[in-house]
Amino acid sequence: LCGNISYIRHEVKQPGPDTAMPSQPASRPAHPVALVGAGPGGADLLTLRALRLIEAADVVIHDRLVAPDILALARPGTHLVAAGKEGFGPSNPQEAINALITGHARTGARVVRLKGGDPVLFGRLDEEIAALEAADIAYEIVPGVTAASAAAAAIGQSLTSRGRNSGLRLLTGHDMQGFADHDWRALSRPGEVAALYMAKRAARYVQGRLMMHGASPDTPVTLVENAARPDERILATTLADWPAALTDAALSGPALTFLGLAPRAARAEIPNVIQELA
């Protein structure tokens, strides 16, 4: 069934079925580290490849956002390590995570590094890949369903639409310097659609930038909290009302913010939509 699936394995050196590799040092780990997307919510949005890797893993190093029902798919005895940034104290938590991954991989264990959503988006993947390369450890990347996809599904909208927006921006509200800077002029144009990650605290800042660049105060802004989870909630508001609506809603879970996209009208009647009637 899966014989014709092709994907890049970033191998340091991998012996094929008919290749004897006597020169391979014994200390080199036999298994590539799998950098796996867990998707936005429950186990039913995992890929089959992610499932197989989790089931076969000796060690799963997971983000705080990964749901318990996904971790429950690991075999009994699998070493589950929570690598949420908080757990590591203030001094360079990413280095501690990198050391955890390379340390386990060096023992020859099957290591799965499990990240929320898709690991290729806002997941510090490059830092972990650089650490693996520096340690001469092979890896593979397994994509996942990103929060923007799950949030679009929740509001019943397409992320692109003929005649509305021919492209989509995926942006972060925060970067290492604080609130992230973006092309505000382009984002302010009518019809632009952007998916903002990690933007709950950036609402007032982004609102100010967009208004300054001429965006309409009526531009729809939609937040989806806990997308694809049982406690999913939708907050439909406008650019003008966004910060106040956010304060009122007191969202506590992870939230994806859409600029330029409102829930499909029929969705506005479902109970988890908090409608802002300005």
Judged by CB under 6 A, which of 29, 32, 41, 263 binds ligand SAH? Answer: 41
Q: Which stretch binds ligand SAH (CB under 6 A): 45-53, 82-90, 219-227, 241-249?
A: 219-227
The answer to whether residue 112 forms part of the interface with ligand SAH (CB under 6 A) is: no
Active-site choice (58, 85, 136, 241): 85
Task: Say if CB 268 and CB 222 are below 8 A apart.
Answer: no
Q: Establish whether 200 is a catalytic residue.
A: no
Whole-angstrom Cα distance, residue 172 to residue 41? 20
Burial (Cβ within 10 Å: 0-12, 13-18, ≥19) of residue 194: buried
Task: Say if CB 24 and CB 132 are below 8 A apart.
Answer: no
Please list, in sequence order, all residues whose beta carbon lies within 8 angstroms of the beta carbon of residue 191, skipping any fewer than 6 positions away: 164, 165, 260
- Residue 142: CB atoms within 10 Å: 24
Q: What strands lie across the sheet with 273-275, from one edge to the other?
A: 169-172, 194-197, 255-259, 220-225, 233-238, 273-275
The answer to whether residue 143 forms part of the interface with ligand SAH (CB under 6 A) is: no
Task: Say if CB 36 and CB 119 are below 8 A apart.
Answer: yes
Q: Residue 45, Cα to own-chain centre: how many angstroms?
A: 13
Grouping H, G, I as helix, E, B as strand and the rest as coil, residue 117 is strand
The answer to whether residue 123 forms part of the interface with ligand SAH (CB under 6 A) is: yes
**Residue number, 29 or 117, with CB nearest to ligand SAH:** 117
Q: Where are the alpha helices (DSSP H) in 91-202?
A: 93-106, 125-134, 147-154, 184-187
Judged by CB under 6 A, which of 226, 238, 239, 258 binds ligand SAH? Answer: 226
**Closest CB 118 distance from ligand SAH, rounded Å:** 4
Could you give the C-alpha distances from 136 to 32, 36, 128, in angstroms and in order? 10, 19, 12
Judged by CB under 6 A, which of 29, 31, 35, 40 binds ligand SAH? Answer: 40
- Which of 126, 99, 89 has its CA nearest to residue 10? 126
Judged by CB under 6 A, which of 118, 128, 192, 276 binds ligand SAH? Answer: 118
**Residue number, 35 or 239, with CB nearest to ligand SAH:** 35
In the region spanning residues 57 to 86, those forming contacts with ligand SAH, defined by CB under 6 A, are 65
**Residue number, 33 or 147, with CB nearest to ligand SAH:** 147
Judged by CB under 6 A, which of 229, 241, 249, 274 binds ligand SAH? Answer: 229
**Closest CB 119 distance from ligand SAH, rounded Å:** 6
Q: Which stretch binds ligand SAH (CB under 6 A): 52-60, 76-84, 119-127, 236-244?
A: 119-127
Q: Establish whether 115 is a catalytic residue.
A: no
The answer to whether residue 224 forms part of the interface with ligand SAH (CB under 6 A) is: yes
**Closest CB 145 distance from ligand SAH, rounded Å:** 8
**Residue number, 239 or 256, with CB nearest to ligand SAH:** 256
Q: Which residues are catalytic?
A: 63, 85
Which residues make up the interface to ligand SAH (CB under 6 A)?
A: 40-41, 65, 115-118, 121-123, 146-147, 150-151, 197-198, 224, 226-229, 254-256
